[in-house]
Structure 1
């Protein structure tokens, strides 16, 4: 009976040892995988959301925050990209559950201005433009996005000295069936783009 007891105890001990060895092997494998993952993550460069990768260079990219308080039937968003000056895209979105009737009093849909730190206009995109004087009536459907492209020349940017200048997009459409403003102005800082 002692032999049977000893054989049973020996079998239990062998099983326990092999399970401990398996646990050690699993733990060592997990540590090795973690080391590899850390090395891979260390070699990957994440581009911050406020920068864009262009020609292997990081450049500032600025978008008006979606949670910015805007009053009006339509919402606006500015996207700025350096490109021999600045390329500026104004996206006008109808987030209402219904179409919005808009009237334009000229051929211009929106204007872009640069204002100084005191809020005074120093440049406007429309300064060197001519627009028809015809009335235009249109409807912007629910969910529709209207895009307006502007260019700010490098010569204009080089005249700006110091910090605190802003781009202001002004939508010129008027809501015809509401007393509410069609869209409030959209403002974005020029500080990242002035050297």
Structure 2
């Protein structure tokens, strides 16, 4: 009888240990499965909306489709002198333009200048007819991850000031983001 109870207790201890090991192994597998997954999405620029009819300079924001959530989104802002004469510009720092990202509520989410430092030297630039100035921007992947639906938009803040003209400097507007 003692032998029977001893065998039964060994059997029960062995079963409970095996059950615990399996449960622990299943918990580890479940924990391994709960990894944050970046949602696959494609982000494109929509048609820009301009608020001014005639300006000295014309700005245009362009970017390729954004599909890789592990990389930054690259954008290029091109400013072209649309006049038949040269335009004199003054910049108060090394910054030519700043890119801002707004959420659907109109709150600023990010700007390209927030982590940058620029020289504090005056710069004078003469832009000949049809000549361009290009500014390149890189929006970090962590910021692009926040873009989750309609209503997000980019705005470019051009830092130059025109000398000797009554026309507005550049077409102010925003470019909506299309999320698929």
| Residue correspondence of structure 1 range 117-132 to structure 2 within 5 A | 117-132=104-119
Q: Does 1:148 align with 2:135?
A: yes
SS at 2:144 equivalent: helix
Deviations 1:21-80 (A, max 9, x none): xxxxxxxxxxxxxxxxxxxxxxxxxxxxxxxxxxxxxx7654756x95544210011101
Matched with 2:149 is 162
User: Higher relative contact order at CA 8 Å, sep ≥6: structure 1 or structure 2?
Assistant: 2
Equivalent in the alignment of 2:57: 74
TM-score, scaled relative to structure 1: 0.62
Could you list the structure 1 runs, at least 4 aligned residues long, displaced by more than 4 angstroms after superposition.
Answer: none
Alignment check: 8 A CA contact 1:76 1:186 kept: no
**TM-score normalised over the length of structure 2:** 0.66
Contact in 1 for aligned 2:46/2:177 (Cα 8 Å): no
How many angstroms apart in 2 are the aligned matches of 1:112 and 1:141? 24
Q: Does 1:136 align with 2:119?
A: no
List gaps (5 residues or longer) in structure 2: 1-41
Asked if the contact 2:56/2:81 (under 8 Å) is kept, the reply is: yes
Kindly tell me the number of residue pairs found equivalent between the two proteins: 134
**Counterpart contact for 1:79–1:90, Cα < 8 Å:** yes
Greater Rg, structure 1 or structure 2? 1
Give structure 1 stretches of 5+ with no counterpart: 1-58
SS of the equivalent of 2:99 reads strand
Contact 2:43 2:178 in 1 (8 A): no
